[in-house]
């Protein structure tokens, strides 16, 4: 739509979730004239994409794309962002919803210049959830460099302690507000887009794959953080038990996905994620042996197929068609042995490697935290789009497992659906 053909704004849109899908819906709607509220539970926007090292298939850093979106949001007065926020209640019907949103305190206001003095004086360290607990961060922290809003957070864990007082005293900009309280605000909106995304399936539930028991078994999302410059090892992929440079790595595909005991569906992206991660390893370790154990390799579309072909050229990447049945650890060396049956030859394979990566799939966040609205779900917790009822829509991975490209396409479509709801009022 051009500015001249812009539709008259007739209400507001609430977007729940500020990942790439939520950002896309919000920007598409706001840039054609609609007022949009983004409610995000994290202290930053970007969702899971902010945790990735590079994007397939281009292998560019996701922060570039995110930065452009953040700038567009900053420049658009029609978008209001609430971070550390949860939707408590949605009442009403299409075109006319009353929404209660709880805003949790950040204890740092907009005066913050991200100078970092509060973190320097803070003695308490807390688990770094952004890095899946692989390191710790100070109780006063910036979630990651380039975070938006670019503002520190003070963890509720240090509120009431001397550490919190030290942070306040260290701040020259009067940005630390230790008496900030949670509050509830009410919004009136015409449409709601749920872009609540996904979380990695809990690999600890897959008993036979050893995650949580053996330190040298990590998940694919952990590998993204290990490969990231702003990750726990400053981008060097090292095996967790002894920080050794791995010479051999096994990828275990469909870890939890396509399994009636866990996630019965294909998570769509984890084959491509492992192929991409093979490039991270190759860039750091030119001679490392990479073993990919798979049931089927799924690289949908021409670009992804091309990417797969490129990885197949690598003589030290071995593709083994066989579902991994068990893993074990050598107590001395901490090496991992992966056992699978080769589906082509029928032979039992035992491959010992320095570390293993579980290609864990996507579980919709709504599967474990039901949303406070009248929504329909699949048996696995993906939100169903009931276009007949209208008014509320699901975008991106809240609706189905997807890569960024298809999440964005879907999110753009849902912006249009939301706008249509407002136009019908």
By beta-carbon proximity to ligand SF4, the closer residue of 122 and 394 is 122
Determine which residue in the list 288, 397, 418, 422 makes contact with ligand FAD, applying CB under 6 A: 397
**143 part of the interface to ligand FAD, by CB under 6 A:** no
Strand partners, 183: 103
Residues 165-224 contacting ligand FAD, CB under 6 A: 195-198, 220-221, 224
Cβ burial, residue 295 (10 Å; 0-12/13-18/19+): middle
* Residue 39 touches ligand FAD, criterion: CB under 6 A: yes
Phi, psi dihedrals of residue 27, rounded to the nearest 5°:
-70, -45
Distance from C-alpha of 95 to C-alpha of 2, rounded to nearest angstrom? 24
Binding partner of residue 298 among ligand FAD, ligand SF4, none, CB under 5 to 8 Å per kind? Answer: ligand SF4
In angstroms, give the least distance from the CB of 166 to ligand SF4: 10
Contact, 349 vs 359, CB < 8 A? no
What does the angle CA 209 – CA 212 – CA 218 come to, to the nearest 5 degrees? 70
User: Measured from the CB atom, is 83 or 267 closer to ligand SF4?
Assistant: 267
CB of 350 to ligand FAD, least distance (A): 26
Q: What is the 3-state secondary structure (H, E, C) of 265-282?
A: CCCCCHHHHHHHHHHHHH
Q: Does 251 bind ligand FAD (CB under 6 A)?
A: no
Long-range contacts of 88-91 (CB under 8 A, 24+ apart): 88/184, 88/372, 89/372, 90/192, 90/372, 90/373, 90/374, 90/392
Single residue of 11, 18, 210, 232 touching ligand FAD by CB under 6 A: 18
Site string for ligand FAD, 68-87 (x = CB under 6 A): ------------------xx
| Minimum CB–partner distance for residue 405 and ligand FAD (Å) | 6
User: Which parts of 42-71 interact with ligand FAD (CB under 6 A)?
Assistant: 42, 47-49, 52, 55-56
Q: Does 41 bind ligand FAD (CB under 6 A)?
A: yes
The item of ligand SF4, ligand FAD, none sharing an interface with residue 403, based on CB under 5 to 8 Å by kind, is: ligand FAD
Q: Which of 299, 311, 336, 342 is nearest to 324 (CA)?
A: 342
Please state the closest distance from residue 99 (CB atom) to ligand FAD, in A.
11
What whole-number distance in Å separates Cα of residue 258 and Cα of residue 264? 4
- Under the criterion CB under 6 A, does residue 149 sit at the interface with ligand FAD? no
Of 379, 323, 341, 299, nearest to 206 by C-alpha is 323
Pairing status of strand 355-360 against strand 217-219: parallel
Quick one: which of 11, 13, 17, 375 contacts ligand FAD (CB under 6 A)? 17
16 binds, among ligand SF4, ligand FAD, none (CB under 5 to 8 A by kind): ligand FAD
Q: Are 384 and 364 in contact (CB under 8 A)?
A: no
Partnered with residue 153 across adjacent β-strands are 141
Counting residues that bind ligand FAD (by CB under 6 A) gives 37
Residues that bind ligand FAD (CB under 6 A): 16-22, 39-42, 47-49, 52, 55-56, 86-87, 195-198, 220-221, 224, 269, 273, 276, 365, 396-397, 402-405, 407
């Amino acid at each position: 739509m051009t500015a001249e053909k812009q539709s008259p704004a007739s209400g507001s849109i609430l977007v729940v979730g500020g990942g790439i899908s939520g950002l896309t819906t919000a920007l598409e709607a706001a840039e054609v004239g609609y007022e949009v509220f983004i409610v995000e539970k994290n202290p930053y926007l970007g969702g899971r994409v902010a945790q990735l090292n590079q994007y397939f298939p281009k292998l560019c850093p996701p922060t570039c794309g995110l930065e452009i979106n953040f700038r567009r949001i900053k420049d658009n007065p029609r978008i209001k962002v609430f971070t550390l926020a949860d939707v408590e209640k949605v009442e009403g019907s299409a075109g006319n919803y009353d929404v209660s949103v709880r805003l949790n305190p950040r204890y740092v206001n907009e005066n913050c210049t991200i100078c970092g003095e509060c973190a320097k004086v803070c003695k308490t360290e807390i688990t770094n959830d952004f890095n899946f607990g692989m390191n710790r961060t100070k109780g006063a922290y910036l979630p990651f460099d380039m975070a938006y809003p670019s503002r520190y957070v003070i963890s509720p864990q240090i509120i009431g302690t001397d550490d919190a007082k030290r942070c306040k005293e260290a701040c020259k900009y009067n940005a630390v507000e230790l008496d900030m309280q949670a509050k509830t605000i009410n919004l009136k909106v015409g449409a709601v887009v749920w872009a609540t995304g996904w979380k990695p399936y809990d690999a600890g539930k897959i008993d036979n794959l050893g995650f949580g028991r053996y330190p040298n078994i990590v998940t694919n999302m952990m590998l993204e953080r290990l490969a990231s410059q702003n990750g726990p090892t400053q981008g060097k992929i090292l095996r967790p038990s002894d920080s050794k440079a791995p010479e051999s790595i096994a990828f275990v595909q469909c870890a939890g996905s396509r399994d009636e005991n866990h996630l019965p569906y294909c998570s769509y992206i984890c084959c491509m994620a492992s192929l991409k991660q093979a490039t991270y390893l190759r860039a750091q370790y030119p001679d490392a042996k990479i073993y990919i154990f798979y049931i089927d390799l799924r690289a949908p579309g021409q670009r992804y197929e091309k990417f797969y072909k490129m990885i197949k050229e690598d003589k030290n990447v071995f593709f083994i068609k066989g579902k991994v049945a068990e893993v074990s650890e050598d107590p001395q060396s901490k090496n991992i042995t992966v056992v699978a049956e080769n589906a082509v030859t029928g032979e039992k394979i035992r491959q010992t490697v320095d570390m293993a990566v579980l290609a864990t799939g996507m579980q919709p966040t709504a599967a474990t935290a039901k949303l406070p609205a009248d929504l329909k779900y699949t048996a696995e917790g993906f939100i169903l789009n009931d276009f007949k009822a209208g008014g509320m829509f699901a975008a991106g991975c809240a609706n189905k497992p997807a890569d960024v490209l298809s999440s964005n396409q879907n999110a753009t479509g849902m912006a249009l659906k939301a706008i249509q709801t407002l136009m019908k009022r």
